[in-house]
Structure 1
Amino acid sequence: MTQRIDFYHHVRDPLAFACKLAATVMGKGQRLLVLLADPAQLHAFDERLWTWQPTSFIPHCRLDEPIAADTPVLLATRLPPGPAPCPVLLNLSLGVPDEYSRFERLLEIVGEDPDSLARARQVARAYKAAGLETVYHDMTGR
């Protein structure tokens, strides 16, 4: 059951910040599923993870790959049926994911543009209506 949702808003470069969050979660010894809106966004984020920092690597793969069970960061465009494959969900899918409550923690990244901010308000309202604790982090200038 979801215990907390963190919104990181006014993020200048959402994909770069998503890489940073993935590294942070992984550094704490937790696994992470990154939910992306479509295959093109998944591909772009996959490329970003490979090139994010020249001296580090974030082990990752698609959720449906054979090595997924042994990989700390998983990428998907849909949530799998059954129990959550990881305790943390980073939602980059632009909406409220179905069955998000299977994850212990949700992370949401919101860009600086008006469309992203409007979408985030709708998503936050849905989470609040479900009675979930929502924490906001203002990332202006970062």
Structure 2
Amino acid sequence: MTTEGVNKTAGEVMHEGAECIGEHDSLRTAAEMMRDMNVGALPICGDDDRLKGIITDRDIVIKCVAEGKDLDQTTASELARGLVWVDAGASVEEALAKMEEHQIKRMPVIDNHRIVGMISEADLAKELPDSKLAEFVHRLYAHG
């Protein structure tokens, strides 16, 4: 593997066009969107079209289903967590450092105050040379 990926930006390696769940939408709607898009996390956007947080499939199961809450009455904003994001112009290493610091595997990418995509640890890891990849994996899972 080359070191070219280290010079890339978050915007160059992200999945473009992240679809948001609205902050007032139900968790059932979120789950259906995740199913239809085959994703495990959705950014939550407010009425002002700004990022409010992120919700994962695990959040829905642990914080709603397992707690006996109603999927149709509980809104995405009630489970919103981790307003952690990365600028589209940030380097791959900056994005990795932020994911490690917050122990997250997926993160919204923001450009000009708007969400433009989502980035995962896998997106970033494939851009790293083997030595950096091994270091990243060790740090990420050492906290497990």
TM-score normalised to the size of structure 2?
Answer: 0.29
TM-score normalised to the size of structure 1?
Answer: 0.29
Q: Which has the larger radius of gyration?
A: 2
Q: Which has the higher contact order (CA 8 A, sep 6+)?
A: 1
Normalized per residue, which structure has more strand?
1
